Structure 1
Amino acid sequence: MKRYAFACFMWLTIQTALAQKTGAAPEVALNAVMARHFPASQPGGALLVVRDGKTVYNRGVGLANRETQMPITPETNFRMASVSKQFTALCILLLEKQKKLSFDDTLLRFFPDFNPHVGQKIKLRHLLTHTSGLLDYESLLASDRKDQIFDAEVLELLKPQDSTYFEPGSRFRYSNSAFCLLTQVVERVAKQPYLDFITEHIFKPLGMNQTTLYEPGRTIPNRAMGYARNPDNTIRFSDQSVTSGTKGDGCVYTSLTDYKKWNDALTTNQLVNLPQQLERVQVPLNGPANGFYGLGWFFTQTKTGTQALFHSGSTCGFSNCVVWIPAQKTLVVLFSNLADNHRPFADILNALKPAIELSGDIWALHNLTN
């Protein structure tokens, strides 16, 4: 099974924003963390740190491909896993901006043959906030399945289901199924393949020239291959799985270089005003006050009004984490081509404390579950 951060995570809290402090960037400390976690001869990671709008760290360590010995650089393309969801959500935002759909449209508008009992209750906003209650498509797959599943088949699996985990809109439950359906909404509304739409409306306008989506046989430039640890701590090849072919919930491939272009566009509202949209499409999370989810992001709103946004992603061969504080122009991004490898991000946040005060326990956000 594909494993994503927050697959069953019922609450999120980033207690406060990151407060900038004076002083030099802790490059030495970050180098030490990267060297400790990512040996040069093994799968590794790529780290980007931006403070006050300035890049203070941008480096890759380790191998993108053990077979070819290709090193990881800021240009290396990693599979984003659940970090992909923010791109999927933006496609829906762009179509809403074009007045081609509404967040309150139900599934029956796009899929008339969806089970009416379910389809008439679930709205797009439920998909975008993990409040749909849709059954997990992974649970509907045969245990001995070998072929990859793709978004269109996820739709076909879900169409006849006559029940949900709960009344749509009544609670939060992380849902890969929801984001697979969103790609199918894009294709129905835009009348073009999802890859073509996201390339034409996001990747090309932002100059993300190497960013793309996984498809079997599709060339991905500067591609990092995925790996995992065996119980004896040896490394095995683990690039794909039965559930790693779906686009909406996790198969964007991008690099630090291109992800910064994406973040710069979000910061300057180049495509949409994300903070404004999050006011329209969000859901409060159980647990400590202040935690919300919307549009592919977990986020908090501090007492001073500052937003802190977070997401992570995990799949059979990759682990990723992103923290973004828009008001302070702060971004911390770590991509790794090793599964279940989020511990380095916690150490990176600790290493940043001399330069960026973590007045709340951001690492407590990350509760990786299946």
Structure 2
Amino acid sequence: MKIVAFAYVMWLTAQTVLAQKTVAALDSVMRRNFPTDQPGGALLVVIDGKTVYNRGVGLANLETKTPITPETNFRMASVSKQFTAMAILLLEKQKKLSVDDNLLTFFPDFNPRVGRKIKLRHLLTHTSGVLDYESRLSPNRNNQIFDAEVLALLKPQDSTYFEPGSRFRYSNSAFCLLTQVVERVAKKPYLEFITENIFKPLGMNQTTLYEPTRTIPNRAMGYARNPDNTIRFSDQSITSGTQGDGCVYTSLTDYKKWNEALAANRLVDLQAQLERVNQPLDGQPDGFYGLGWFFTQTKGGGKELFHSGSTCGFSNCVVWIPEQKTLVVLFSNLADNHRPFADVLNVLKANMNLSGDVWALHNLTN
């Protein structure tokens, strides 16, 4: 028994040393990539269900010098799409719609040549071929567009990029249309529905959506880097007001609650839903997209999920490996700033035996 106890103590000591080494390496990555007096980042690493790292570096607001913490709310950009998809799944669970309903079910005045062919599952898998709303905007426009106007722009269009369901083409338009489906079916604003059905039940009390006059608690402002390496304010653009494709604001603290709920199937069984709502990706063996997630199938039959988010002033990346109870989240309030995430994954691969399939996930959108 003494030998067994000694072996356990030695193993525990080795694990502690490894964890300390990992934290030190992650600290180095964060300090190297995020100066304390500039826009920064917030990193959460959960391995085997245990929080290994949960810290912020840099400033959420350069004017007020507010530091970034795990409670800082970042604009999620396309990481928002997983919340939009969940809203649709919840309405389906309530038997108020089906992912096989077409657009004419909800919008009878949609051009029938398009509306009868595009199903919700096509929107949820980026296989609708619906036109990019960004391409329909005037080059002289300077006011923000919102989801309802996206719907109005797309309703009269009589063509798609390809036959719906035939191929993958990433589409922000699709997820803007999904918020309008939610509003039409739930008979309430999208913000109200997602707050009542997702944010509040999961205790995500500081998570919200961007609206021009809405106060966002603990808000990180967005920035971008000029060619001469100076920093400029870059918090909003004309396309950053749409909700379905990108304007959830959340923090590491609240995103961890979201992930824990997904892992426990508190809202729906996401992995089971991904089995029926997905699209294989060309050129990516075992690569798929569905419901706001890129994912690969592991040899053991599980999934490794990934999504990034990029907008005028923010860069975000998330990797979730349910089988390993592993979550890696990096939010940054600096545009075009995904390099630090690759550095984080390098540390975890070297020190924590993180699955090599994560690299395929990271390359799906980078």
- Smaller-chain TM-score bracket: over 0.9
Q: How does 1:283-294 map to 2 (within 5 A)?
A: 283-294=279-290
Name the amino acid aligned to 1:349.
Answer: L
**Match among 211, 216, 227 for residue 231 of structure 1:** 227
Cα deviation 1:156-187 (Å, max 9, x = unaligned): 00000000000000000000000000000000
Letter of the 1:344 counterpart: P
Aligned-partner Cα distance in 1 for 2:30–2:47: 19
Report the secondary structure of 1:357's partner residue. coil
Aligned to 2:4: none
**Which residue identity does 1:323 align to in structure 2?**
V
Give the distance between the partners of 1:234 and 1:348, measured in 2 at CA: 24
Contact 2:130 2:174 in 1 (8 A): yes
Q: Supply the AA of the counterpart residue of 1:296.
A: G
From 78, 87, 93, give the equivalent of 1:97: 93
Aligned positions of 1:1-370 closer than 5 A: 24-25=18-19, 26-353=22-349, 354-360=351-357, 362=359, 365-366=362-363
Q: For residue 194 of structure 1, what is the amino acid of its counterpart?
A: Y
Over 3 Å counting, the alpha-carbon distance change for 1:174 and 1:229 in structure 2 is same
Post-superposition shift, 1:367? 5.9
Kindly state the Cα deviation for residue 289 of structure 1 after the two structures are TM-superposed.
1.8
Given that 1:226 and 1:318 are in contact with CA atoms closer than 8 Å, whether structure 2 keeps it comes out as yes
Shift of 1:288: 3.0
Q: Which amino acid aligns with 1:30?
A: L
Question: Aligned residue pairs: how many?
Answer: 349
In 2, Cα distance between equivalents of 1:329 and 1:357: 11
Identity %, equivalent residues: 79
1:285 and 1:293 in contact (8 A); partners too = yes
Structure 1 residues 361 and 49, CA gap change in structure 2 (3 angstroms): closer
Moved over 3 A (4+): 363-369
Distance 1:344 1:269, change over 3 A: same
Structure 1 gap segments, 5+ residues each: 1-20
Contact kept? 1:22, 1:355, Cα under 8 Å: no
Q: Distance in 2 between matches of 1:100 and 1:223?
A: 34
Q: Which amino acid in the other structure matches residue 196 of structure 2?
A: E
Return the alpha-carbon distance in structure 2 between the equivalents of residues 357 and 113 of structure 1: 50
Computed over aligned residues only, the root mean square deviation of the Cα atoms, in angstroms, reads 1.3
Distance in 1 of aligned mates of 2:177 and 2:289: 18
1:112-143 deviations in whole A, cap 9, x for unaligned?
Answer: 00000000000000000000000000000000
TM-score, normalised to structure 1's length? 0.92
- Offset of residue 22 of structure 1: 5.7
Give the secondary-structure state (helix, strand or coil) at the position aligned to 2:357.
coil
Q: 1:364 to 1:213 in 2, by over 3 A?
A: closer
Describe the shift of the 1:347–1:327 C-alpha distance in structure 2 as closer, same or farther (beyond 3 A): same
Q: Which has the larger share of helix? A: 2
> Which segments of 5 or more consecutive residues in structure 2 lack a partner in the other structure?
1-13
> 1:140, 1:64 → 2: CA distance?
33
